[in-house]
Structure 1
Amino acid sequence: MKKEWKILNDCRGMNDDEVIDVLLNSREIDDYDEFLHPKQSSLIPFLELDHIREAAKMVFDVLDRNGTIGVHFDVDQDGISSGAIATRWLKHNGGNVETFINQGKAHGIRELDVRELDNIDLLWIVDSIDNSFDEYRRILNQGVQIVITDHHLVPDELLSEIENNPDIVLISSAVHYPNPELSGSGVTWKLCKYMDTLNLDDYADTLVDLAAVGIVADMTDVGVESKENRLICYNGFCNPQNTAIQKINGTYDFDAQAVSFGIAPLTNAAMRTQNNTLAKELFLSDDSKEAFMLIKELRRCKENQNLEVSTLLSSLYQQAESQLDKKCMFFFVDTEADVSGLIANRLLGMYQRPLFVLKEKVRVNQDTGEVYAHEYAGSCRAIGVDNFKAYVEQTGLGWSGGHENAFGFGVEVEDFEYFQDLILESLQDVEFVQTTNIDLWLNPEDISSWLITQLKKINRISGKGFPPITVLCSGIIDYTLATMSNGKHLKINTQYLECIQWNFDGDLDSIQGPLSVVGVLDISTFRNTGTKQLIISDWRVEG
């Protein structure tokens, strides 16, 4: 794998103010104050969401007659946040509420047993859309109305069927909305905020932290021009109200990094270990002791998932041996845990090429018992190409869903070998290049605590469309090496910075000579003493 470091700005020798000016110009931030403190006017008018009036009326009608509303959570963090927003808003407004969630990574309502809806008048489905109207028809046939708040692309035929049925209302940022990057939790929050305006209330403002978590966790756009998403994140990060968020985050700053590395991984662990209900209950809890116990259980889930990953990896190394000459690798696992994505991440770091981690799955219709799919399904990860998902989709086989180089995938067992041949053939003449954009090239001795603090402010709302500011420090000669957590993490101690690489898979003996390190700057505070840090994403020995 060829690696390229693309240095955007050589700021060695500049003072702090000059560095910030160069950075703002490079990132095309024209109004620094507005970037850090988005204007409340950035919230797009509620009525720009198609059918928001109809959805609000359907909800209020059930509340007014003291009916029961079911909330169907999706299983990822955006879905958990969405469900918690809807449930909390309904309960605040006196609603009778029941909650539902799938187990594992199953999205949508295909696995929902309609017999559980006997006492439900309205089902509010958040953060998911099923491609077939048949899934909604079986609910409607129970006499249950449906509201959907979502952000995924909607097939034209399905949209037509929904819009022609008065008992189902879809509000989606993917349908005629100026901000198609608004996540499911953002759409759900906006419906609640709109209904607040009709009630002359402001309760939804206490739920915006959940929307911020969903936006960041689902990797929707938070770039300079994505002003609505940035505003929701800003409001949420400034006002953490949810007990789960407070307890997970503790004394750390509540920002995008806290979501990506602290909050979302616990929900993901619940999902991967078939304990989705724990995550649902955590974000609905207002009791500190209960939240503490649920967090403890989720951390145990995370430990179990990591143990499962470590156990499986040893057998996968053997599978790799016969594929080292291939430009794409295929791995098969046999486990009840949905850890294919985690395993793929680890293998990607080792083998530096596109790869699939799959397991055999038989999918059964919950109502009829009919087998509707026999497939290999799991996760794909890739580096070295801009959009590996496009290569997969060009085969015309299987399904894929997610981001360009990190997505879920499945293919019928009978089609797998043909798919494998097509992928390998399509990559035959491709040269993989991994490019890292470096915002700032700095001398380690010039990095002040003030500069790091400014960069942390800029990084507060970061993710898709605005990745964290990446810094290169080169020519590091005087350093010592250490490991943390029984060798799991690498620490490079220098005169000016403490450089840390999480989940280090390399060889300490290979680190000899002058170093260049790339990563994100931070300050670690312990007992009122701050230590300047660089969290490593890449490094190389010079020479």
Structure 2
Amino acid sequence: MKIKQISSYNGDIIDTILKNRNIKDIDTFLNPNSSEDLNPFDLHNIELGANVLLAHLLINDHIGILVDADADGFSSASIIYQYIKKIEPDSHVSYFLHDRKAHGLTDEISQKIADSSIDLIIIPDAASNDVDELQRLYYMGIDIIVLDHHEVDKMPTHGILINNQLDENKSTNKNLVGAGMAYKFCQALDRILDTHYADDLLDLVAIGQIGDTSDISENEVRNLVFRGLETINNPLVKVAVMDVFGSLEGIAPKDLSFSIIPMINAVVRVGTEDEKDLLFRALNKIGDGRVWNVEKRKKNKKTGKFDKILVEQDLYEYAFDMMKKVKGRQNSMIKKSLEKLRSSTYNEGGISIALLDSSDEAAITGLVANKVAKKYQKPALVLYYKDKKYIGSGRGDEKVLSSLKDWCNETGLVEFAQGHANAFGISIPEDNFEEFKKRTHEVEQNEFVYEVDLIVKENVDRSLIEDVTDNKHLFGGKVQEPLLAFVGIKINKNFIRQKGSMLTFYENGVEFVMYGAPEGLYESLKNNFDRQITMDFVGTPSVNVYGNKRTLQLVLVDCERNESGQYDFIEVPDEITAETIIF
């Protein structure tokens, strides 16, 4: 395991980490402000779009909102819905939900809109490139406002496009995602109407910006996210955060990534139409006064058995329970898919290729690919066969390829591989599939080096982990979480435990936790006559809070036994100063 410390340690772990992330203005990063905020009226078409919406509201027209199928889509649509209801409580507003994980104006959603009675459709977080569909709706007499942040391949000739990526903008902030663009639209409306409603929706802005992994090191985005986390107003978001963390205080960007955001995405992926509808209604207080009588199981302290009791739940408690159930259902689907894939995974090359039975599992191909890549410790494609193509998702492993997506495209055998470097969608024509599988034999593991913020030798320094976890709000999105290496750590074998695929080491009050540990690792460490072993660990600092117990953790990305006392470090060169130059 090769390890490189990114730069010299200056004695302050937080300052060192921020400098390693190329944060130039650390004071502004720590204290974001509105000094550089984008003027919403610098966005092309935004004043026109705002006035068109107000004109439709003035004559009580029927307005529709398309809800795109991810956390950013739900939050940006909710921002628009709630803002309209704030300025015009009696307005006639409908919303349209995808029946599967899809984006923009699909044939199905376009038909739903066409069959409705709406006069104006607002589309946040999608549709910039849906040129033909926009034209069709326009010719049907429906006005269109698109609020998007995706790259535009070809300018639509119909509808009003407001997009922060356009060259036509006077100035822009390309780090705003769908929720950020919805907020800017509401800001413009606030200025026209002399109202102040947009800031009431900053918690939803935070969900969208974090959920779409935007660059939260940028001052305006960071300020919006921090303000949103400090003022969580949305009742459903409150219930979710309180359930996981027990408090609304000190919530960090990454906390939403481990609470409500994956639950929203689970409902989008595998939820029924009714469950998706319940999610949107709960986010937007639609049917706020309704109460559900729900049967729960509660342990009887006297008998030790579980009794069935009826409890009353409001809209937000009921919806959150649903979200947890759907997340559990998604996890079960992933587990079942992995069991079936044992006999249908091609592993002879440097890339695992797993074939699902049908497109019924299309919504979870990316999640399953994550598991397959971890299991076999190499890049993975999870595909299903449909219409003479193998379609699905890819998940890479930087230890093998810097970009699995680029490798796939460079074969010339794929119809497309689109998305992030190591998380993307892919389609391979049936006629090219066998040749593609052969090409995977050319893939060999590169020499991989873990670039860490600090290497600590032969000592588990709890204060370092404490400092990082106390400042967890500083990290998230493109501001990568800290990575630390603890090497030469003596571990008593009695303090090595395994539960399922989770492997845990204990030393000096710190848990070193590896999720999805490779098969056989636990046995290789335990099945010997040594009372203690020496380990090298690389991971991210964290803290586990259970009841009143708080346990420091290092969540491992890798570990290995090392009894040699030799470390495979790439040394950091000394900084060149007058004192270090030798004449």
Structure 1 and Structure 2 fold alike (TM over 0.5): yes
Structure 2 counterpart of 1:370: none
> What amino acid is aligned across from residue 356 of structure 2 in structure 1?
V
Residues 1:300 and 1:144: Cα distance change in structure 2 (over 3 Å): same
1:284 correspondence with 2:307: no
Which structure 2 segments of 5+ residues have no match?
A: 289-312, 527-532, 564-583
1:399 correspondence with 2:419: no
Matches for 1:227-306 after TM superposition, within 5 Å: 227-250=219-242, 251=246, 253-275=250-272, 276-285=276-285, 287=288, 289-306=314-331
Helix, strand or coil for the counterpart of 1:460? helix
> What amino acid is aligned across from residue 350 of structure 2 in structure 1?
K
> What amino acid is aligned across from residue 532 of structure 1 in structure 2?
L
Structure 2 counterpart of 1:390: 406
Structure 2 counterpart of 1:365: none
Tell me the distance in 2 between the aligned counterparts of 1:437 and 1:246.
37
Tell me the distance in 1 between the aligned counterparts of 2:176 and 2:222.
10
Helix, strand or coil for the counterpart of 1:493? strand
Residues 1:454 and 1:201: Cα distance change in structure 2 (over 3 Å): farther
Larger CA deviation: 48-57 vs 410-419: 410-419
> What amino acid is aligned across from residue 330 of structure 1 in structure 2?
I
Larger CA deviation: 397-406 vs 427-436: 427-436
1:324 correspondence with 2:347: yes
Residues 342-388 of structure 1 show CA distances to partners (whole Å, capped at 9, x for unaligned) of 110011012222221111345xxxxxxxxxxx532211111122222
Tell me the distance in 2 between the aligned counterparts of 1:393 and 1:217.
27
Structure 2 counterpart of 1:82: 76
1:170 correspondence with 2:161: yes
Tell me the distance in 2 between the aligned counterparts of 1:501 and 1:236.
32
Structure 1 counterpart of 2:480: 467
Residues 1:411 and 1:130: Cα distance change in structure 2 (over 3 Å): farther
Deviation at 1:474, TM superposition (A): 2.0
> What amino acid is aligned across from residue 383 of structure 2 in structure 1?
L
> What amino acid is aligned across from residue 163 of structure 2 in structure 1?
S
Structure 1 counterpart of 2:102: 106
Tell me the distance in 2 between the aligned counterparts of 1:197 and 1:510.
65
Structure 2 counterpart of 1:216: 210
Of 345, 352, 355, 2:377 maps to 352
Structure 2 counterpart of 1:478: 491
Deviation at 1:72, TM superposition (A): 0.2
Structure 1 counterpart of 2:58: 64
Deviation at 1:527, TM superposition (A): 4.6
> What amino acid is aligned across from residue 304 of structure 1 in structure 2?
R
Deviation at 1:296, TM superposition (A): 1.3
The 8 Å contact of residues 38 and 227 in structure 1, kept in 2 or not, is answered as yes
The 8 Å contact of residues 109 and 130 in structure 1, kept in 2 or not, is answered as no
Helix, strand or coil for the counterpart of 1:511? helix
Larger CA deviation: 112-121 vs 261-270: 112-121
> What amino acid is aligned across from residue 160 of structure 2 in structure 1?
V
Structure 2 counterpart of 1:367: none
Residues 1:461 and 1:402: Cα distance change in structure 2 (over 3 Å): farther
Tell me the distance in 1 between the aligned counterparts of 2:403 and 2:356.
25
Helix, strand or coil for the counterpart of 1:211? helix
The 8 Å contact of residues 70 and 100 in structure 1, kept in 2 or not, is answered as yes
Deviation at 1:19, TM superposition (A): 3.1
Residues 1:141 and 1:388: Cα distance change in structure 2 (over 3 Å): same
Structure 1 counterpart of 2:568: none
The 8 Å contact of residues 129 and 154 in structure 1, kept in 2 or not, is answered as no
Tell me the distance in 1 between the aligned counterparts of 2:377 and 2:461.
33
Tell me the distance in 1 between the aligned counterparts of 2:469 and 2:390.
42
Structure 2 counterpart of 1:41: 35
Deviation at 1:10, TM superposition (A): 6.5
Deviation at 1:317, TM superposition (A): 2.0
1:313 correspondence with 2:350: no
The 8 Å contact of residues 230 and 461 in structure 1, kept in 2 or not, is answered as no
Residues 463-512 of structure 1 show CA distances to partners (whole Å, capped at 9, x for unaligned) of 3431011111222213402345xx24333222231222334454322235
Larger CA deviation: 498-507 vs 297-306: 498-507
> What amino acid is aligned across from residue 277 of structure 2 in structure 1?
T
The number of aligned residues is 508
The 8 Å contact of residues 413 and 432 in structure 2, kept in 1 or not, is answered as no
> What amino acid is aligned across from residue 189 of structure 1 in structure 2?
Y
The 8 Å contact of residues 69 and 98 in structure 1, kept in 2 or not, is answered as yes
Helix, strand or coil for the counterpart of 1:196? helix
Structure 2 counterpart of 1:145: 143
Larger CA deviation: 281-290 vs 378-387: 281-290
Deviation at 1:28, TM superposition (A): 3.3
Structure 2 counterpart of 1:369: none
Residues 1:207 and 1:461: Cα distance change in structure 2 (over 3 Å): farther
Tell me the distance in 2 between the aligned counterparts of 1:104 and 1:431.
36
Tell me the distance in 2 between the aligned counterparts of 1:171 and 1:77.
20
Residues 1:505 and 1:86: Cα distance change in structure 2 (over 3 Å): farther
> What amino acid is aligned across from residue 446 of structure 1 in structure 2?
D
1:456 correspondence with 2:487: no
Larger CA deviation: 59-68 vs 267-276: 267-276
Deviation at 1:107, TM superposition (A): 1.0
Deviation at 1:83, TM superposition (A): 0.9
Deviation at 1:332, TM superposition (A): 1.2
Structure 1 counterpart of 2:451: 437
Residues 1:137 and 1:26: Cα distance change in structure 2 (over 3 Å): closer
Helix, strand or coil for the counterpart of 1:191? helix
Of 179, 187, 196, 2:181 maps to 187
